[in-house]
Structure 1
Amino acid sequence: MTGKGGTGKTTVAAALALALAQGGRRTLLVEVEGRQGIAQLFETEPLPYEERKIAVSHGSGEVYALAIDAERALLDYLQMFYKLGSAGRALKRLGAIDFATTIAPGLRDVLLTGKACEAVRRTDKQQRPVYDAVVMDAPPTGRIARFLGVNEEVAGLAKVGPVHNQAQGVMRLLKSPDTAVHLVTLLEEMPVQETVDGIAELRAAGLPATSVLVNMVRPRLAGAEQMRTAQGRTEELARAFARAGLGDEHRAGAAESLVAPLLEQGREHAERVELERGLRAELSAQGLPVRELGLLSQGVELAGLYGLARTLHSQWRTTGTDGRHS
């Protein structure tokens, strides 16, 4: 899940994890930016570097969460491929790991995506996947293609060995039908433009741009199309207000004081409806499924989060999360 900052991508990622867990499934919700946004949403303690059960979905489904830390992921990597458990811990004490992830920003992305992909591929004793789905609250749209594509660069630099094999394995998964990239946006010009640019970059990199989720959609008021025609009819509307008891029927000025601000609000709403119509058309032109999530009037809290999960589940009952019918 990616999106411009402020579009609510963490909230939508959490709602999707809940939706995918319905019916007794198990999902993992992964955070990679170190903001502890998942813990705040679910009103729990900050997530450690371990998979922790944080919610139960409808039908006894389970949602686990993991906040991936690049330094801890590098220690895992050193142990997994080079058996450097104690030596890796010594490097951490010396500050070498922090130094390595700082001077090589791409290394952080390799570690973060690699840890998430390991969770996807992990199986139990019966060789069944531990998780039915893994949802990543990924970096913003402006750098999502570079974040997901960094392993391809690493595979090109390291021609042989475990680093090369790991990077190739991650890219095979990210470019496979098992991966879906959903872009969260708002019906506003800058988020929509960044979404369009992000789709183009993902496609150019051979990565799966899968669907667009329009978040925080305001309810459309009845009669929005007629609001423009009401402009300039202040006196007529004031008399109607007065007859309805909104002001003094014999003193139109009292009703006019009510009409003017209402007309201004109506004009602004009509303009917004027109703008949103154009933005919807721009999103539809990208050739991806576009789904809409309503604005949570009470703010984002657990009840609202579960409500969004129900909406997503109902929207995807006939169309899978990858855009295919299921």
Structure 2
Amino acid sequence: MVTGKGGTGKSTVAAALAMALATTGKNVLLCEVEGRQGIARMFDVDPLPYEERRLAKGVPDESGRAGQVHALHIDPESALLEYLAMYYKLGRAGKALDRFGVIDFATTIAPGVRDVLLTGKVYEAVQRNSRHKGAIIYDAVVLDAPPTGRIAQFLGVNSELAGLARVGPIKTQADKVMALLKSPQTAVHLVTVLEEMPVQETSDGITELRNNGLPVGGVVVNMVRPRDLDEAALASIRRGKVDRPRIAADLGRAGIEADDDLVGALVAEAGAHAERRALEDSQRKVVAELGVPTYELARLAGGVDRGGLLELAEAMREQGLA
């Protein structure tokens, strides 16, 4: 499970983690449940249907085996129709309910139905494939989960429904999914950037997950800026001790005409960078005190595409995340 505050790049991290696992020879199912089609955009493919679709093949590992990444876009309406067909044999009647808006009503009004359908579909896809001869057997599942503020509710809803439904398929499925989510097979990774609000939300998320008996994996610090200036240079900039003539001379050697306005703008930019680095360093200390493994991923200068995902995947493998 990959979660994080909005804007921290959790979907990017989920996709890169799937690629990293595939490069170690694993067949991976990458799932999304928020309806944004973010996976399709990152892999530059058409919007994903409600079925498993192969997206990429990993680089062969030392044994020569290359895993594959399959994706599954899950929406609650389709999941409920499938659920009704599987367990209650409604078939066409279920589709008729959809036309009358009953599906939307059920997933909006009934507490927890939407989330239990989403997690249940991921569980069902893996279990179904393991039972069918010739079907893809997944070695790992990566779920691009809801944001940190909703993750404990999202993962814990199966437990709530199991308590409400004493018998029947809902009870059986909810119990199985909850047992898996709380087992050592599951890890919830939290994505943050080095800013106060995302780091605080990450800390709160870890506490909430632990209080609900859900397994915390690690914290992925995403979009880390390059360290082009050392600490001594940054300290001088913060004190306002900048050698302006040297800047002008360096610009001149690069063939750039250096007037006072340009030098002043560069000095101001350096000051903002130095302050930003100080903030990041203070938040890095907070992350280090959370008591979970921490991984860092660099900001991608060229944006997120398949090549960028491979770059992030390599960084994950080097740090032992995959």
Which TM-score applies when normalising by structure 2? 0.89
Query: Larger Rg: 1 or 2?
Result: 1
**What does residue range 1-326 of structure 1 map to in structure 2 within 5 Å?**
1-59=2-60, 60-104=66-110, 106-122=112-128, 123-125=130-132, 130-230=137-237, 231-233=239-241, 237-240=243-246, 246=252, 257=261, 259-316=263-320
Q: CA deviation at 1:124?
A: 4.4
Q: CA deviation at 1:70?
A: 0.8
Letter in 1 for 2:77: E
1:244 and 1:186 map into 2 onto residues whose CA distance is: 33
Residues 187-196 or 16-25, more deviating: 16-25
1:53 and 1:232 map into 2 onto residues whose CA distance is: 54
1:288 and 1:244 map into 2 onto residues whose CA distance is: 44
Secondary structure of the equivalent of 2:36?
Answer: coil
Letter in 2 for 1:189: E
The percent of aligned pairs where both chains have the same amino acid is 57
Q: CA deviation at 1:181?
A: 0.6
Give the total of aligned pairs. Answer: 310
Change over 3 Å in CA distance of 1:83–1:222 after alignment to 2 = same
2:307 and 2:104 map into 1 onto residues whose CA distance is: 39
1:29 and 1:215 map into 2 onto residues whose CA distance is: 19
2:247 and 2:313 map into 1 onto residues whose CA distance is: 43
Change over 3 Å in CA distance of 1:241–1:48 after alignment to 2 = closer
Change over 3 Å in CA distance of 1:245–1:225 after alignment to 2 = closer
Q: CA deviation at 1:242?
A: 6.4
Which TM-score applies when normalising by structure 1? 0.88
Change over 3 Å in CA distance of 1:164–1:256 after alignment to 2 = same
Q: CA deviation at 1:183?
A: 0.6
1:232 and 1:290 map into 2 onto residues whose CA distance is: 34
1:245 and 1:34 map into 2 onto residues whose CA distance is: 49
2:134 and 2:245 map into 1 onto residues whose CA distance is: 76
Residues 94-103 or 238-247, more deviating: 238-247
The C-alpha deviation readout for 1:111-132, integer Å capped at 9, x for no partner, is 0011111233341456998101
1:311 and 1:208 map into 2 onto residues whose CA distance is: 23
Q: CA deviation at 1:47?
A: 0.5
Higher relative contact order (CA 8 A, sep 6+): 2
The answer to whether the 8 Å contact 1:145/1:205 transfers is yes
Letter in 1 for 2:182: K
Q: CA deviation at 1:303?
A: 1.0
1:83 and 1:39 map into 2 onto residues whose CA distance is: 32
Q: CA deviation at 1:238?
A: 3.9
Letter in 2 for 1:72: S
RMSD over equivalenced CA pairs, Å: 2.3
Structure 1: segments with no counterpart, 5+ residues: 248-253, 322-326
Secondary structure of the equivalent of 1:227?
Answer: helix
Q: CA deviation at 1:83?
A: 2.1
The C-alpha deviation readout for 1:9-51, integer Å capped at 9, x for no partner, is 1111111111111243211110101111111111111111100
